[in-house]
Amino acid sequence: MYDIKSLKAEEFISDEEIRATLAYADEHKSDMALIDEILNKARQCKGLTHREASVLLACEDEGKIREMYDLAEDIKKQFYGNRIVMFAPLYLSNYCVNGCVYCPYHLKNKCIPRKKLTQEEIKREVIALQDMGHKRLAIEAGEDPVNNPIEYILESINTIYSIKHKNGAIRRVNVNIAATTVENYKKLADAGIGTYILFQETYHKESYEKLHPTGPKHDYCYHTEAMDRAMEGGIDDVGLGVLFGLELYRYECAGLLMHAEHLEAVHGVGPHTISVPRIKKAQDIDPSAFDNSISDEIFAKICALIRISVPYTGMIISTRESKEVREKVLRLGVSQISGASRTSVGGYAEAEPEDESSAQFDVSDNRTLDEVVNWLMRLGYIPSFCTACYREGRTGDRFMDLCKSKQIQNCCHPNALMTLKEYLMDYASLDTRVIGTDLILREILNIPNEKVRKLVIQHLKDIRNGQRDFRF
Ligand code: SAM
């Protein structure tokens, strides 16, 4: 039975509804009148239902796909301008009691070195990240109640926020840890986290159970209902994601959008972000063993579809993807990217010998943060180190209301310019600083409100004179 408002996973992610949706999409994939109608609806920037989105995803007409890409680009510009938010993952521990067959942290893997950072080691990692210029982290840990209990995660968050090295500071810590209890989500909310991120991996229950044969993560319903518990615990911003390659992508996209619709229907606010990871090679993991891998073309189509289906939800792409793929999907709606990521435990402060790697997966984009920032600006984007929204209480429905009315640009654009200026002053190479200074000068003119523009100009001068952390 399909019930969007039910709190039971199998009812709000109804397999029956997904199958009916995919059949409907197959039936209508060449119905140009319907496809035009759906594209016209998407043009109003109010989003699409999972059924409408599934029809577009099934459509193979090249002209219509191009229209969809153009629309994704246009919607992205309307809601996010040319800003791209920067972040880095920080791996705290790879101890894990689960048996996820695609992840090298799985319990049976006796070859991967197990590591857990001490608070002193976390300090070293954070200083290394601050020295690159990062202000926003996503902390990552395997699931292990003995080695990585919630107290360890909370202490680590506290440590991260407390470190002020030179002009550096981590101003937002997002958290990607296993599904947990309402009580623990309350503790995370009290610790001042940004977004709680949890990838569904796959929405297909039967496959999910096979892919997670052992450990607490085996419980599909507990995992799928985690975002409801997180919101009940007071976390306003949650991030969804699917690990593409595990199941059929059309099934996953329908499930993902149904999950977003469910959160909006029950909590009045949809997901803050959606991530689109694809399976990568890792120690003991061969991606070719998973036969649902998707091509770069399909990947781009999925990104464009998400952008037009949930226009006000941020989209995240990690260094799992190459520079070339990232470049393509930035245009189609991605709003956040990681830079200079290490997926090993302790990999920022100290490089690991290759044969002793604790990494979760191989990264495809190995550039430094300065190279990524430089590249983004050359492509016409503003790399943003802004973390102001959640620090100013603009989370959950308050953020969504502003975003839906496109007002968010009035704070995000100036904040992006000011945090970029901080980056240029404190961390950038000479070439990046030259390009960035020029870009900021041009972008100031795009601030329509004269009062705000004058204030930004003053703050930019203050930043040049050593002051930090201005925000709207
Ligand atoms: N332990 C937490 C959990 O259970 O959700 C945190 C997850 S892990 C540190 C972050 C994510 O990496 C996983 O949710 C999974 O989607 C992804 N991942 C695992 N193995 C991967 C691989 N071989 N390639 C790409 N991504 C992978």
The model's pLDDT over 187-208, given as tens digits with 9 standing for 90+, comes to 999 999 999 999 999 999 999 9
The dihedral built from the CA positions of residue 300, 304, 305 and 311, taken in this order, carries a sign that is: positive
- pLDDT for 449 equals 85
pLDDT of residue 405: 76
User: Any residues with CB less than 8 A from the CB of 446 and at least 6 apart, and which?
Assistant: 413
- Residue 103 beta carbon below 6 angstroms from any ligand 1 atom: yes
Lowest mean pLDDT among 57-66, 371-380, 441-450: 441-450
Atom of ligand 1 nearest to the CA of 243: 16
Return d(Cα 364, Cα 45) in angstroms, integer: 33
Question: How high is the pLDDT of residue 390?
Answer: 81
Please name which of 202, 361, 226, 335 lies closest in space to residue 274, comparing C-alpha atoms: 335
Tens digits of residue pLDDT in 286-302? 999 999 999 999 999 99
pLDDT at 261 over 90: yes
The pLDDT value recorded for residue 353 is: 82
The answer to which of 4-18, 75-89, 330-344, 352-366 has the lowest mean pLDDT is: 352-366
Expressed in angstroms and rounded, the spacing between residue 111 Cα and the centre of ligand 1 is 18
Instruction: Report the 10 Å Cβ neighbour count for 127.
Output: 15
The protein residue whose alpha carbon is closest to atom 13 in ligand 1 is: 199
DSSP label of 141:
E
Task: Kindly state the average pLDDT of the residues 333-352.
Answer: 95
Most ligand 1 atoms within 8 A of CB, residue of 91, 103, 112, 200 to mutate: 103
Percent of the chain with pLDDT over 70: 99
What pLDDT was estimated at residue 440?
A: 98
Digit-coded pLDDT (tens) for 422-449: 999 999 999 999 999 999 999 999 888 8
Q: What is the mean pLDDT of residues 339-368?
A: 92
Mean pLDDT, rounded, for 241-268: 98
Give one word for 270, left, alpha or beta, with left for phi > 0 and alpha for psi -120 to 50.
Answer: beta
In this prediction, residue 213 has a pLDDT band, given cuts at 50, 70 and 90, of very high
Given a cut of 80, whether residue 355 has pLDDT beyond it is no
Residue 306 CB–ligand 1 contact under 6 Å: no
DSSP 8-state code for residue 198: -
Is pLDDT larger for residue 396 or for residue 55?
55
For position 138, what pLDDT does the model report?
98
Q: How many CB atoms lie within 10 A of CB 163?
A: 17
Whether residue 242 has its Cβ less than 6 Å from ligand 1: no
Residue nearest to atom 14 of ligand 1 (CA): 199
Question: Which two tokens mark 135?
Answer: 């202000």
Mean pLDDT for the stretch of residues 166-178: 98
Q: What is the pLDDT of residue 437?
A: 98
One-letter amino acid at 271 equals P
Q: Assign 3-state DSSP to the chain and report helix, strand, coil percentages, each to 5.
A: 50, 10, 40
**How do residues 102-134 score in pLDDT, each as one tens digit?**
999 999 999 999 999 999 999 999 999 999 999
pLDDT value of residue 224: 99
Q: CA-to-CA distance for 120 and 165, rounded, in angstroms? A: 14
User: Once rounded to an integer, what is the mean pLDDT over residues 412-424?
Assistant: 96
* Any atom of ligand 1 within 6 Å of the Cβ of 180: no
C-alpha distances in Å from residue 44, one per residue of 266, 331, 398, 430: 24, 19, 21, 43
Q: pLDDT-derived band of residue 400, with 50, 70 and 90 as boundaries?
A: confident
Backbone φ and ψ of 140, nearest 5°: -130, 140
pLDDT higher than 80, residue 404 = no
Please provide residue 159's backbone torsions phi and psi, each rounded to the nearest 5 degrees. Answer: -60, -45
Identity of residue 325:
V
Task: Enter the pTM of the model.
Answer: 0.97
Q: Are 203 and 239 in contact (CB under 8 A)?
A: no
At 159-171, the pLDDT tens digits run 999 999 999 999 9
Which ligand 1 atom is nearest residue 143's CA? 1
- Interval between CA 364 and ligand 1 midpoint (Å): 16
Mean of pLDDT values over 318-328: 97
Judged against a pLDDT cut of 90, whether residue 255 lies above it is answered with: yes
178 C-beta closer than 6 A to ligand 1: yes
Mean per-residue pLDDT over the chain, rounded: 96
- The CB of 279 under 6 Å from ligand 1? The reply is yes
Amino acid letter for position 55? V
Cα gap 410→472, rounded to integer Å:
9
- State the closest ligand 1 atom to the C-alpha of 201, by its place in the atom list counted from 1: 16
Cα-to-centroid distance, 172 and ligand 1 (Å): 21
Q: Is 447 in the pocket of ligand 1 (CB under 6 A)?
A: no
Q: Is the pLDDT of residue 184 over 90?
A: yes
With 90 as the cut, is the pLDDT of residue 407 above it?
A: no
Q: How confident is the model at residue 240 (pLDDT cuts 50, 70, 90)?
A: very high
Name the band, by pLDDT with cuts 50, 70 and 90, for residue 470. very high
177 lines ligand 1 (CB under 6 A): yes
pLDDT in tens, 87-103: 999 999 999 999 999 99
Q: Is the per-residue pLDDT at 304 higher than 90?
A: yes
Assess whether the C-beta atom of 143 lies below 6 angstroms from ligand 1. yes
Q: From the CB of 342, is ligand 1 less than 6 Å away?
A: no
The confidence band for 374, taking pLDDT boundaries of 50, 70 and 90, is very high
* Cβ of 320 below 6 Å from ligand 1: yes
Per-residue pLDDT at 401? 80
| CA 196/CA 194 separation, integer angstroms | 7
How high is the pLDDT of residue 127?
98
User: Do residues 469 and 169 lie in contact, with contact meaning Cβ atoms separated by under 8 Å?
Assistant: yes
Q: Ligand 1 pocket: which of 139, 222, 243, 292 to mutate (most atoms <8 Å of CB)?
A: 243
